[in-house]
Chain A
Amino acid sequence: MTFTNEQLERYSRHIILEDIGVKGQEKLLNSKVLIIGTGGLGAPAALYLGAAGIGTIGLVDGDTVDLSNLQRQVIHSCADIGKAKVISGKESINAINTDVNVITYQERATAENIKDIIKDLDYDFVLDGTDNFPVKFLINDTCVMLKKPFSHAGIIRFQGQTMTYVPGAGPCYRCVFKNPPPPDLVPTCQQAGVLGVMGGVIGTIQATEAIKYITGVGKLLTGYLMTYDAKKMEFRKVKIAPDITCAICGENPAIHELIDYEIAACSIRDRQ
């Protein structure tokens, strides 16, 4: 591909990096990343990936922008309240970079639609920016089944965690966490609160992993769970191993169909 002068200038700080260069930027412009959830995690991830020149970004979210989102979901603005999050997200990305083709899926990811969404444009990398366990397991199981690399993450209060799954290269989310906790034991973001900046830190790590996967630079968080404690200002990288008895990626997987686990009642109510 040939870069325009404007593109050379826009991506100059990438191109002059020895590890990225012209070829790396081309890879980014030719890549497709799907971001599920345009909330605390997805918002900063989408902005940085858009700015980085990811050629195609898919946004999946069924919600509309609420005033209470604006404390952390930096892709949305006051004028977007009431607007579909995916539309608001698309507008914000394109306000930064018109090179990005933003595809919107204005729906919640479910066992019924998630495979079709990922296969829609055969996305190269999936980013989990959701706020509940059922969908986190759903994304994991789907990515294992479709052999898609993805970045898991979660944030709550002053804590965050993230790991990267690459087929055949390390454990999946289910290897580590087995099953969703019972719905009544789960505090949601809305119940428990979350420091606004948590999504910025963890979501940006997810975007970094996507860029590294696409360009082949460095080592990914495969086989590691990274945890972040903002109160102690402490990052930990915990080594995790694949589980050969894992119900989805193990030697004899018990799961053959995607599961829509029950979402905690309070988190459904919050959405209405």
Chain B
Amino acid sequence: MSEIKPDGFVDITDVVCPITFVKTKVALEGLEKGQVLEIKLKEGEPIQNVPRSLKNEKHKVISLENNNDGTYTIEVIKGGMAET
């Protein structure tokens, strides 16, 4: 994990695509630009798709950890890849 203390957390292991990204977007909505969201998600489709969708919307994934129980935990900076 990164050294940054996350500003928010969302568990999307209980939903499937595309609700995974919907819940992630809702969680990000509650944060300011530059704040960090921690996301717990399942292996397979969620870990393949959610980080990619986050990048497409200019958020920056800064860490990825395999929890070795079929889930991953990632951290993302809201708007971390936006140009301004």
Using a CB–CB distance below 8 Å, which chain A residues touch chain B? Answer: 3, 8-9, 12-13, 15-16, 18, 21-23
Contact = CB atoms under 8 A, between A and B. Distances in A.
A182 B32 CA distance: 59
Given A9-B22, A16-B25, 16 more contacts: A3-B26, A8-B19, A8-B23, A8-B26, A9-B19, A12-B18, A13-B18, A15-B26, A16-B18, A16-B21, A16-B22, A18-B56, A18-B57, A21-B29, A22-B26, A22-B29
B31 to A, nearest CB: 12
Contact of B25 (A9, A13, A21): A21
Mostly, the A contact residues are helix
B22 A12 contact: yes
Nearest to A22: B29
B81 to A, nearest CB: 13
Interface residues of B, number: 11
Given A22-B29, A23-B29, A8 B22 contact: yes
Q: Which 5 A-B pairs have the closest CB atoms?
A: A22-B29, A12-B22, A15-B22, A8-B22, A16-B18
Contacts of B22: 8-9, 12, 15-16
Contacts of B25: 15-16, 21-22
Contacts of A15: 22, 25-26
Interface of B: 18-19, 21-23, 25-26, 29, 53, 56-57
B30 to A, nearest CB: 9
A15 B19 CA distance: 9
Contacts of A13: 18
Contacts of B53: 16
A18 B24 CA distance: 13
Contacts of A12: 18-19, 22
A3 B57 CA distance: 21
Nearest to A3: B26
Nearest to A15: B22
Nearest to A9: B19
A212 B19 CA distance: 24
Nearest to B29: A22
A12 B22 CA distance: 6
Contacts of B26: 3, 8, 15, 22
B38 to A, nearest CB: 19
Nearest to A26: B29
A198 B3 CA distance: 59
B43 to A, nearest CB: 21
Contacts of A3: 26
11 contacts: A8-B19, A9-B19, A9-B22, A12-B18, A12-B22, A13-B18, A15-B26, A16-B21, A16-B22, A21-B25, A22-B26
A155 B56 CA distance: 40
A13 B26 CA distance: 13
B3 to A, nearest CB: 29
Contacts of A9: 19, 22
Contacts of A16: 18, 21-22, 25, 53
